Chain A
Amino acid sequence: MAAKGDMVYAWTTSPDIAKVAECGGAVTGLLKFALENNIVDGVLAVKKGVDLYDAVPTFITDPADLAETAGSLHCGTLLLAKLIKKYLNGAQDQRIAVTVKGCDAMGIYELAKRNQINLDNLLLIGVNCGGSVSPVSARKMIREKFGIDPDDVVKEEIDKGQFIVVTKDGQHKGISMDELEDEGFGRRSNCRRCKMKIPRQADLACGNWGVIGDKAGKATFVEVCSEKGADLLSRAAKAGAVATAPANPKGIEIRGKVEGAMLKLGDKWRARYFGELGEGKERLQKMMEDSSRCTKCYACIDNCPICYCVECSTKKPYLVPPGVLPVPFMFHLIRYAHVADSCVNCGQCEENCPMEIANSLYMHALQTDMEKMFGHTPGVDMDLPVLAIVEEKAERERLFATGSDQIFNVFK
């Protein structure tokens, strides 16, 4: 019987899955077991679209379709959290297993706090993530830095600080991430600043870091993070869907070192990005100038795992006059005020911005400042943020009745 806190090596017993999966295929094996045994009604995962640069979310109810989600795609920059709210009714009416990177897990927690996702109905299979590369940038990088036609690449991975590609004729080539990123390629800027490499707020945290010895490349490292996760792993192991073995202590140590190195790298990038942003008026000036290009596509709001209001304040004509370009800075102030305490640095507001505004950087910088001030860390547990302890409708009524837009009684 697995228990919370356990660390094991796990691998699928299905030859079919083993053929298509990576690192032992435990994740695909566990998802298949959960779906076949009515532990969940569906699985939300990511599959390859037109090629390996095209990550497409997919909602699977037939276990036979799970094979297409096996393996990892580092050029997928999706955030699944908001999709659950927008298109799967926030998992209010069905049980869903979801494979989650750190940002997915954090976004899900933030939406769950706001009653937009029912966490009880979710089974979160966490996967380690060292960061992802935007697909168009990845193709450019492979063409220009690797000297390889991106259409000839059959596999890509991020391992030991390198971005590695394998071509159809079997050629391997790796270049260090540091070198790529110094030249403007490599991971998204929010991924560089990210410090959620092993998502332990999921039910299971899976990955290949720390799998050593004869199991290297053939098993998945699984850390059991919740009772729900323990139950799934135990039942799957008991039924023979996956096989497990205790993790090698040396492997556990190595996994810790990898994680530690990634966190240190995250700190380095934070220092660099936040440093360049400056402080006080200088920072404000930069934010105002950059955001003045906004053309009001609302992508930052639509894709944000914190934004959920039906009546968004940015659509109040007395705060932000509609249809006016350049968009008044109040539009962005509203977002900073409402989101910054809970920003999980998922990067969507920036990578979906058609006007190249560094939204995510600003919000993340504000969030880290506020975390220092208020001691609240978003995305890791169900603790309410400063602004989520009010119920929207009631709060709006109160504000309307008092004729104010100041939210007073939020400090506990």
Chain B
Amino acid sequence: MAETNGKLRYVPTTCPYCGVGCGLNLVVNDGKLVGVEPLKRSPINEGKLCPKGVSCWEFVQSPDRLTKPLIKKNGKFEEASWDEALGLVASKFREISDKFGPKSLGFQVSCRTPNEECYALQKLARVAFKTNNIDNCARICHGPSVAGLSLSFGSGAATNPFEDLANTDLIFMIGANSIEAHPLAGRRILQAKKAGKTLIVCDPRYTPTARLADHYVRYNPSTNIALINSIMYWIIKEDLHDKEFIAKRTKGFEDMRKVVENYADVESITGVPTERVKEIARMYASAKNAVIIYCLGITEFTTGTDNVRSLGNLSMLTGNIGRPGVGVNPLRGQNNVQGACDMGAYPNVFSGYQKCEDPAARKRMEELWGVTGLASDYGVTLTEQITQCGDPIKAMYIFALNPVVSYPNSNHVMRSLEKLDFLVVQDLFMTETAQYADVVLPGASFAEKDGTFTSAERRVNRIRKAVQTPGDSKEDWQIFVDLAHKLGLNGFDFNSPEDIWDDMRRVTPSMAGIPYSRMEKPESVHWPCPTLEHPGTPILHREKFSAADGLGTFFGLEYRPPAEVADAEYPFTLMTGRLIFHYHTRTQTGRAKMLHHEVPEGYVQINKEDAARLKIQDGEKIKLRSRRGEAESLARVTDEVGPGVLMMAMHFADASANMLTNDALDPLSKMPELKHCAVSVEKITGVQ
């Protein structure tokens, strides 16, 4: 409970930002947050934090917080009671559902919210409206990891924990800038390097992580498959592959081998000389234990799932999977992106990846939830829901997301939201997206509720309530419980997040063995953990793969160019990414003084040669245009990106990369191509 008396009360909890899951102490004086202090007992970060972590308390008590439910009347928001607001939400959703059926609703869940709330909302959507139109924003970060790793290994999660980097001999990083995006995972990489392990970083951009590398490989954006296929070609050519592992534990090798036959020389595609590819291939294949770390530089493409599977191929080719010091590890971008998927806030699975299409799984869930008629179809994914606004989706519930800034093609998002009959946004602040809502519900921050986040290493970390929610705002799980009661649902008699967690455990075999009592110490437990006696599973695929037949699968995957490539009209390739100083659309980090001091506005990195040719100076405001929109931003002239390539951070609404980005989708995972689109660059005459 959040006490209101006394000074210097430490509340151990988990950082609300990236997927590393760092422990920290919130400090409370007389019921108010006054700071963050190190939690040195945490095995994940040993008390150390990044710029975002140390300042994560600041936004909580911002005067901008929403404190009352709001209902839009005649185009203006008016304060309302909870009874009125939730009554309206329940009746509207019921009315639209009755009239247009389950396909007329969309539910969108943010990966910054605790497991308990993700679980409660997907249960509500599925039980009340028999819809699978529920998705979370993993779709636009690691959806391809879930899809790709599931296809390759039978489980869509990271294989090895961060700490395990101490056991490796070589780290192969591709499309990952951990020092900025996952700083305390970056620390593990740094520690490994200090211990003499080899670090290879492949990235189109010379990032702070690339600076640490023993071997930095710059390759052209979106050419991952060509590069990895070529590495595999040379491993096979030089007979460095692990034939025993391939024979005993995998299938599909021949399919893959035939495809990579054509990838001996890929310099014209990737920009990487063949000799360099050979060198990298030899190093990776010769290391006793080699681990692959990747991030959104692999996933955020129309080839995202294939990119991920290519890394699966590479690891299996050399037998680098299923023991300490090896594996394939996606670094998850948000605190609970792993958990939001685990909880079944996903259009084709219940919690624990139990498939909705499987009649046995559905029957089991119907019995355990005490309902009938759960939907079996593959529901509509996150950005497809946006496209379906108006037809057939009439009502949408957006929980703690800001699509207007964070989804690709912002103009499309705004036009689509306008087509809805009814939009509910539940959030902390009046975001760019909340402006489009009919009802705005004020929720709670990570510091104001109990719950759990599941980090990128599948470790379930506790968050603990430190202070009360401001004004009339409510803990989000409580909002869902109240709404469920308004809808007359059974199975929502929860009095605490722990009650919800236990309901989830009851229906989820892979997490049944992790009650709150096992999470008291910061070591906690890594799922799968089926029973109370089970020690948890830090390393996956040890004896056999998680697939039904126990085998890993190779896929022969051809390189495909991105959906939109630079041309005469739009001659630059725009990549997007993250800065260490901000998180997503800055609704939280923009309110931390120190972070705002470091980077108060967005910028676009442009190569020195291009800048010279276009007579653009460092710090000058420039205009970028794509086929979908335009944005103005400050030029940062650099050689961190190559000629013809630009890089913008995704964080800034007023210099928004997503005005430009392409919403073309990866056919397998429905990931939009956030990291590759074609743009033009113009000077803004007279403006400096």
Contact = CB atoms under 8 A, between A and B. Distances in A.
Contact of B581 (A50, A51, A323, A355): A323
B390 interface: no
Contact of A299 (B35, B40, B54, B579): B54
Contact of B10 (A51, A57, A323): A57
Mostly helix, strand, loop or mixed at chain B's interface? mixed
Contacts of B48: 299, 351-354
Given A87-B7, A88-B8, A302-B54, A323 B41 contact: no
A325 B7 contact: no
B12 interface: yes
Contact of A86 (B35, B45, B187, B580): B35
A58 B190 contact: no
Contact of B598 (A54, A61, A292, A296): A296
Contact of A136 (B43, B49, B184, B194): B43
A295 B598 contact: no
Contacts of B522: 50
Residue from B29, B47, B183, B194 whose CB has the most chain A CB atoms within 10 Å: B47
Interface string A337-353: 00000000000000111
A136 B581 CA distance: 27
B415 interface: no
A61 B208 CA distance: 47
A151 to B, nearest CB: 8
B7 A134 contact: no
Contacts of B27: 87
B580 A351 contact: no
Nearest to B36: A302
Interface in B39-97: 40-43, 45-51, 53-54
Contacts of B600: 322
Residue from B7, B29, B38 whose CB has the most chain A CB atoms within 10 Å: B7
A135 B318 CA distance: 37
B534 interface: no
Contacts of B180: 295, 325
A295 B190 contact: no
A297 B580 CA distance: 10
Interface residues of B, number: 48
Nearest to B28: A87
Interface in B176-204: 179-180, 183-184, 186-187, 190-191, 194
Contact of B51 (A139, A298, A352, A353): A298
Given A50-B41, A53-B41, A59-B7, A299 B49 contact: yes
Contacts of A326: 208, 211
A83 interface: yes
B54 A323 contact: no
A23 to B, nearest CB: 25
A56 interface: yes
A50 B520 contact: yes
Contacts of B208: 295, 325-326
Given A322-B597, A354-B48, A355-B190, A295 B8 contact: no
B54 A295 contact: no
Mostly helix, strand, loop or mixed at chain A's interface? loop
B7 A136 contact: no
Contacts of B668: none
A78 B47 CA distance: 11
B34 interface: yes
Given A49-B12, A88-B8, A298-B51, A325 B40 contact: no
Contacts of B25: 56
A273 B183 CA distance: 28
Interface in A113-160: 134-136, 139, 151
B40 A135 contact: yes
A156 to B, nearest CB: 14
Contacts of A139: 43
B565 interface: no
B361 interface: no
Interface string A44-85: 100001110111111101000000000000000110000100
B40 A136 contact: yes
A279 interface: no
A58 B37 CA distance: 13
Contact of A77 (B40, B179, B212, B580): B40
A315 B596 CA distance: 12
Nearest to B594: A298
Given A50-B522, A51-B521, A59 B598 contact: no
B272 to A, nearest CB: 25
Contact of A356 (B41, B50, B54, B191): B191
B686 interface: no
A297 B180 CA distance: 11
B463 to A, nearest CB: 15
B471 interface: no
B620 to A, nearest CB: 16
Given A58-B8, A293-B212, A299-B54, A354 B183 contact: yes
A327 to B, nearest CB: 10
A352 to B, nearest CB: 6
Given A53-B41, A295-B208, A323-B581, A136 B46 contact: yes
B599 interface: yes
A53 B522 CA distance: 11
B8 A356 contact: no
Contacts of B191: 356
A295 B599 contact: no
Contact of B8 (A51, A57, A136, A351): A57
B370 interface: no
Interface string A305-339: 00000000001000000110110000000000000
Contact of A56 (B10, B49, B50, B53): B10
Contacts of A54: 41
Interface string A361-401: 00000000000000000000000000000000000000000
Nearest to B522: A50
A323 B49 contact: no
A7 B191 CA distance: 47
Contacts of B579: 323
Contacts of B179: 293, 295, 325, 355
A295 B580 contact: yes
Sorted nearest first, the 5 A-B pairs with minimum C-beta distance are A323-B599, A354-B48, A54-B41, A59-B8, A323-B598
Interface of A: 42, 44, 49-51, 53-59, 61, 77-78, 83, 86-88, 134-136, 139, 151, 292-293, 295-299, 302-303, 315, 322-323, 325-326, 351-356
Given A296-B51, A354-B186, 15 more contacts: A49-B12, A53-B41, A57-B8, A77-B40, A87-B7, A87-B35, A135-B40, A136-B41, A136-B43, A295-B50, A295-B208, A302-B54, A352-B38, A354-B50, A355-B190
5 contacts: A61-B6, A86-B35, A87-B7, A298-B594, A356-B194
